[in-house]
């Protein structure tokens, strides 16, 4: 299936493309399709924002469209930054400033209270108006300093509980490596977005059949 990825985030697009292509789909970004829309994320949940983005970009592209809305929820901050993760510092997409603010907010918080989780809502919206959304979560904690250069966003500060294994399955992250220190296979197997995309893939054929697309 040819799917439009409704994102302008290069890191997120790379992950979405890697996961969907491994599942046998072809991905075109909205930029590659000449779509410059940036839908207003007015939802109060990740699922609401994913639907808003998927619907608007689908209507513009005429293609099945996948949108992801995701973010970091920190227990010591009552779930913040949450849906405001990308603009936590007051500017959208400034990863360094967002990370600086998060570290400052947690400066006096001890290790045992720095628990957090990444959450992803993935919405696939069809030109017919049919849509489906799946959620994925990855628990972990926030480090005291950045580590790694493979990720984006809050990846250098987030340590997941588990990592994926090259031969399949998962293992405890005993080395306390951050998302940004993991190889693609280690992250995709346990990441919030990887889990949401796996659920989508698991149910995609049934959804398309029910929607009359197969």
**CA 47 to CA 2: how far, in whole Å?**
23
Instruction: Specify whether 69 is catalytic.
Output: yes
Cβ contact 193:70 at 8 Å:
yes
If we measure between CA atoms, which residue out of 87, 75, 164 comes closest to residue 117?
75
Secondary structure class of 38 (helix, strand, coil): coil
What are the φ and ψ backbone dihedral angles of 22, each rounded to 5 degrees?
-65, -25
**CA 79 to CA 116: how far, in whole Å?**
8
Length of the chain: 214
Of 69, 95, 155, 188, the catalytic one is 69
| CA 52 to chain centroid | 15
Cβ contact 65:3 at 8 Å:
yes
Q: Which residues contact 202 (CB under 8 A, 6 or more apart)?
A: none
Hey, what are 143's tokens? Answer: 């480090």
| CA 33 to chain centroid | 21
**CA 185 to CA 7: how far, in whole Å?**
22
Residues labelled as active-site residues: 69
């Amino acid at each position: 299936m040819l799917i439009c990825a409704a994102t302008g985030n290069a890191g997120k697009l790379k992950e979405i493309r890697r996961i969907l292509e491994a599942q046998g789909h072809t991905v075109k970004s909205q930029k590659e399709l000449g779509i410059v829309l940036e839908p207003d994320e007015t939802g109060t949940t990740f699922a609401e924002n994913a639907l808003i983005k998927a619907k608007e970009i689908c209507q513009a592209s005429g293609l099945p469209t996948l949108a992801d809305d995701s973010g970091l929820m920190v227990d010591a901050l009552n779930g913040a930054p949450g849906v405001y993760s990308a603009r936590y510092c007051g500017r959208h997409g400034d990863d360094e400033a967002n990370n600086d603010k998060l570290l400052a907010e947690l400066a006096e918080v001890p290790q045992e209270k720095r628990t957090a989780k990444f959450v992803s809502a993935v919405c696939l919206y069809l030109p017919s108006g049919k849509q489906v959304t799946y959620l994925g979560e990855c628990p972990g904690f926030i480090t005291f300093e950045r580590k790694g250069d493979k990720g984006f966003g809050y990846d250098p500060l987030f340590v997941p509980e588990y990592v994926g294994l090259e031969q399949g399955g998962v293992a405890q992250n005993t080395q306390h490596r951050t998302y940004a220190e993991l190889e693609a296979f280690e992250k995709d197997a346990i990441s919030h977005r990887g889990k949401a995309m796996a659920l989508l893939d698991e149910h995609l054929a049934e959804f398309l059949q029910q929607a009359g697309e197969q």
